[in-house]
Structure 1
Amino acid sequence: MNEQIRITPIRLIGAEGEAHGIVPTAQALEMAREAGLDLVEVADKERPPVCKIMDYGKFKYAQSKKSHQKTHQQKLKEIRVRPKTGDHDIQTKINQARQFLEHNDKVQVNVLFRGREMQHIEEGQRVMNQVLEALQNDCKLEMPAKMEGKRMVALLAPKSSGPEKGGNQGAPKPKPKPAPAQAVGAAAPAPKPQAPAAAPSAAPAAKPPVPPKA
């Protein structure tokens, strides 16, 4: 990239994908600097090597995102049974399908018919129902069972792991109501009336003077 490109000349592709033909590396670097971009070698096996003017940071981010999506891309797995498959073998297939679903992969269930088995499709339907019933809590039925030639097919998809919307899970429980308290600013209870104080007793009346004796 940029000054690390030692070979000259190179075949240059512009930032918009336009071809500039074969140019000296120094000229290509100058064009990249003027555009505020990088000169990146995209095909080092070619002679002369192919370089492109681009934003290298955005290019690396896009490559990383693409690689991440490819790694986590959902896959389609298959299990195959026959109308006369025994219960033990059916359970083994069910366990395989459950593991696929846990890894977020879709599962196609195939019941294969051969020869005269096509005359007894109900036997294949019984096996299909056995598989679907065993996995009903691990998946959602994306395509119900149907006949395709000499096989019966159903498609299962992983269940979403997030909580269902509208449920009551995690709803806060109502808190007990506190005892009623006296409101701020409410009038205080009136004091009990007191008995009136007793009036002071009147002073005794003065006795009249005794007249002197003659």
Structure 2
Amino acid sequence: MAKRSGRRGFNTRTDNKPEFRINEHIRVPEIRLVGENVEEIGEAVGQQLEAGTVYPTRAAKDWARKVELDLVEISPNAKPPVVKIIDFNKFLYEKKKKEKEIKAKAAKTVIKEIRFGPNTDDHDFDFKVRHAKGFLEDGAKVKAYVHFRGRTIVFKERGELLLLRFLKELEDYGTAEALPKMEGRRMIVMISPKKSKKK
């Protein structure tokens, strides 16, 4: 059974509002013990333990002490609460690491906006197509929209044709997530980059 280095006191956590109750802070009479290491802990403490079984909390605290790990409450609202016997510091580290990875993945989705008017000329259109190609090659999404000011709202068809032409120009670089649609006074289309990034 792997033991953690730098053994700390069993009841040293004094956070005002800890996210998880551990060790002596768990005061319910019974708990449900889960985890991949339950049988291994059972061997270490000379008990036959099964994951998912309900045990007296006092006994579970004793087992955690014997293997120099922590009793950590994972699901406090379950009846009885669900706990694991694990290294709490390692558990927190893994949790933070996962949260960081999720955050990093979310942050990678960059959206670049490209705005048109219903009367955009060819020169301006080509200029915006070049920009969009660059954004898509870099892995960013492109949100293209036609903004209708005042009476130009009557030119919805013109705006749709413009966006469809824009999509056609970018078909080697990205794919439309849906057909152009109206949102307020804007007709919008979202384009996701194709898998191959800039070489």
Please report the TM-score for the alignment, with normalisation by the length of structure 1: 0.50
Q: Residue 37 of structure 1 is aligned with which of 69, 83, 86?
A: 69
Alpha-carbon distance between aligned partners in 2 of 1:17 and 1:160, rounded to the nearest angstrom: 52
Task: Give the match for residue 74 of structure 2.
Answer: none
Task: Give the match for residue 138 of structure 1.
Answer: 173
Higher helix share: 2
Alpha-carbon distance between aligned partners in 1 of 2:153 and 2:24, rounded to the nearest angstrom: 58
Q: How does 1:146-185 map to 2 (within 5 A)?
A: 146-161=181-196
Task: Give the match for residue 59 of structure 1.
Answer: 92
Q: How does 1:29-108 map to 2 (within 5 A)?
A: 33-34=65-66, 36-37=68-69, 54-73=87-106, 74-108=109-143
Task: Give the match for residue 14 of structure 1.
Answer: 21
What runs of 5+ residues in structure 1 fail to find an aligned partner?
Answer: 21-29, 40-52, 163-214
Runs of 4+ with >4 A deviation: 2-5, 16-20, 30-35
Identity %: 32
**Coordinate RMSD, CA, aligned:** 3.8
What runs of 5+ residues in structure 2 fail to find an aligned partner?
Answer: 1-5, 28-61, 72-85
Q: Residue 145 of structure 2 is aligned with which of 110, 115, 118?
A: 110
Shift of residue 18, structure 1, vs aligned partner: 5.2
Matched positions, count: 138
Structure 1 residues 116 and 55: CA distance shift in structure 2, 3 A: same
Please report the TM-score for the alignment, with normalisation by the length of structure 2: 0.53
Q: Which has the larger radius of gyration?
A: 1
Structure 1 residues 54 and 143: CA distance shift in structure 2, 3 A: same
Structure 1 residues 57 and 131: CA distance shift in structure 2, 3 A: same
Higher relative contact order, structure no. (Cα contacts within 8 Å, ≥ 6 residues apart): 2
